[in-house]
Structure 1
């Protein structure tokens, strides 16, 4: 209040009577491009985006004091806009180890929209297998996962000399200092909090991924245009979704409104009964399972923008970890209330989605008779290849398939289109498989 940080920093720089002008680093919760530009124009030396961890703080201090990477190679303390900050590492191949599907989709969208190549592992064991079979520039590792958690997976990877220098970055909804220390003790390099803040994530990736040469960066290509040029969300929609901060949710998925809508529908489908499941785990003294469920609910709620539910689940998670069962009972009721607000608020969206599915099911269908069979098979395989890679160009390929089908198989085509409209590539693969089977076109999505 009174004077913002940018103006205060500018005056300090301009009016300092000291022989050595002090170094000024701005710390803010906002990573907006215009704020960064204003800070740089005011002559400030660095820019940090909250939450700030020890590694990012240390490296930034070293840089602005001239003891880290050169300012020429990493201007403005390495915290430029997303496109600038990730330019030297664009095209890097990343492994995301995360067991929750909604969190997987959020991470994939954030990273692919910035030009990274992303693989997904569903647990720690699978992450180890993928790391052995493939070459990655960095691993983003969730802490709490089934079969093998992120700490165990990291420790096992570090025992293999091949992965001694592989950057492994913890992703967790736990923000306590002890959790960060556990991550570092297990061999992780750094830590990002969930729900993921895109700018904070990019800052950490820039610090740990080896920059690529200019030729490689150019070949990797720019971030996808459709992911970086989406319009700002309409405030009118926010009022229609009680319990959801639409702006926060959209920011988590780099502004992708279609994907955010799908995540909301997935949440409505997958988490409506989460309090019942939590209560059962607590009543059966399965405390570890209850902690995992509360942790997952907290992270996913934050990812979709259900911030009141996120905070309530965070408190419940903390009470469970402290074995404060009296407080758990109280907080479980709060979580149930907040979840009810979100689920009821999403019901109109769910009804609308069900109506669209029913409309697609009612569409006429039939075999492709007097048509170009080789063209149909080629179009199906082209579309399958794009869906397999979660490539948004699948929508264009679907239109080419629709053209060669000449009005036949409209029911199956509409099902594929409905899935792609929601960025539901798994659903699209299932719908396309049904179409291919009906047309007797051999098709396998597992290869």
Structure 2
């Protein structure tokens, strides 16, 4: 367990938290962290399911992804706030597109606050403490690392500190995350490579949700460009960006496979 993780005290009494996210890998990582903090997590795969669950079951807080199928996090939050007994329910947005506009939309929809993805355990824990008033430990937040040049394939290697911190030293859990990533990501990339202009942003966002836990900003930068509305000039550059992501993933996979192999030898 990392030094900062050791300061994240379990909630007493424990919490019940709804995790609304359509990305299985995100669910796995978030729920793992919540379990370490004496939190029982229930998952929803889209906004509509989140509204159904939160309307009929008692929760102490909701972690709401912004971009989800069927109903996004903004609309799901608005619908929850229409219920009198849910007007004070803490709803914390989690989004990979952490811009001032996104934050303003989230607050207008009724969220208490938004946090960036991949989430920093210290920030998420502090947010839950703030909105549930169960415990108030002291924590230290690590500043974000500078992003490398996305055109430099030599920089494509995982930065393990975030995953190590989330897993609290549990190598079996890290192996599960890597295995899930290696199983799902090639198919997601193929969908990105064959997506039309309308689906390109959606697939880029979904693939970025897989990448964030491995600390590879170069790939994230390419995917962020692809998930924005494309101007005519951007549309011409999109095939190059998609191809770049493919090369970057090909450079990343061996690092992940090596860590799996090292785990199996232990």
TM interval, shorter chain, is 0.7 to 0.9
Contact 2:195 2:203 in 1 (8 A): no
Distance 1:156 1:343 in 2: 41
Distance 1:194 1:250 in 2: 16
Distance 1:81 1:175 in 2: 26
Corresponding residue for 2:242?
332
Q: Does 1:100 align with 2:26?
A: no
Corresponding residue for 2:70?
147
Contact 1:252 1:304 in 2 (8 A): no
Q: 1:317 aligns with which of 217, 227, 236?
A: 227
- Cα distance 1:291–1:165, how it changes in 2: closer, same or farther (>3 A)? same
Larger RCO of the pair (alpha carbons < 8 Å, separation 6+): 2
Distance 1:325 1:206 in 2: 44
Contact 1:154 1:168 in 2 (8 A): yes
Corresponding residue for 2:192?
278
Contact 1:173 1:193 in 2 (8 A): yes
- Cα distance 1:90–1:254, how it changes in 2: closer, same or farther (>3 A)? farther
Deviation track 1:290-326 (CA, whole Å, cap 9, x = no partner) reads 22221122122112344432333233323x4667313
Larger Cα-atom Rg: 1
- Cα distance 1:349–1:310, how it changes in 2: closer, same or farther (>3 A)? same
Q: Does 1:128 align with 2:51?
A: yes
- Cα distance 1:207–1:181, how it changes in 2: closer, same or farther (>3 A)? same
Deviation track 1:406-430 (CA, whole Å, cap 9, x = no partner) reads xxxxxxxxxxxxxxxxxxxxxxxxx
- Cα distance 1:191–1:351, how it changes in 2: closer, same or farther (>3 A)? same
Corresponding residue for 1:82?
8
Distance 2:16 2:93 in 1: 17
Contact 2:17 2:40 in 1 (8 A): yes
Q: 1:193 aligns with which of 116, 125, 139?
A: 116
Distance 1:342 1:150 in 2: 31
Q: 1:300 aligns with which of 199, 210, 222?
A: 210
> Where does the alignment leave 5 or more consecutive residues of structure 1 unmatched?
1-30, 35-79, 213-241, 357-447
Secondary structure of 2:17's partner?
A: strand
Corresponding residue for 1:248?
162
Secondary structure of 2:195's partner?
A: helix
Query: What is the CA distance between 1:273 and its match in structure 2?
Result: 3.1
* TM alignment of 1:366-385, pairs within 5 A: none
Contact 1:263 1:304 in 2 (8 A): no
Corresponding residue for 1:163?
86
Contact 1:252 1:303 in 2 (8 A): no
Corresponding residue for 1:202?
125
Corresponding residue for 1:268?
182
RMSD value, Cα:
2.8
Query: What is the CA distance between 1:159 and its match in structure 2?
Result: 1.3
Q: Does 1:109 align with 2:16?
A: no
> How many residues are matched?
243
Contact 1:155 1:187 in 2 (8 A): yes
- Cα distance 1:258–1:96, how it changes in 2: closer, same or farther (>3 A)? same
Contact 2:107 2:113 in 1 (8 A): yes
Q: Does 1:180 align with 2:90?
A: no
Distance 2:207 2:261 in 1: 23
Contact 1:297 1:310 in 2 (8 A): no
TM value normalised by structure 1: 0.50
- Cα distance 1:164–1:322, how it changes in 2: closer, same or farther (>3 A)? farther
Deviation track 1:26-48 (CA, whole Å, cap 9, x = no partner) reads xxxxx9549xxxxxxxxxxxxxx
Query: What is the CA distance between 1:129 and its match in structure 2?
Result: 1.3
Distance 2:216 2:176 in 1: 14
Secondary structure of 1:111's partner?
A: helix
Distance 1:251 1:90 in 2: 24
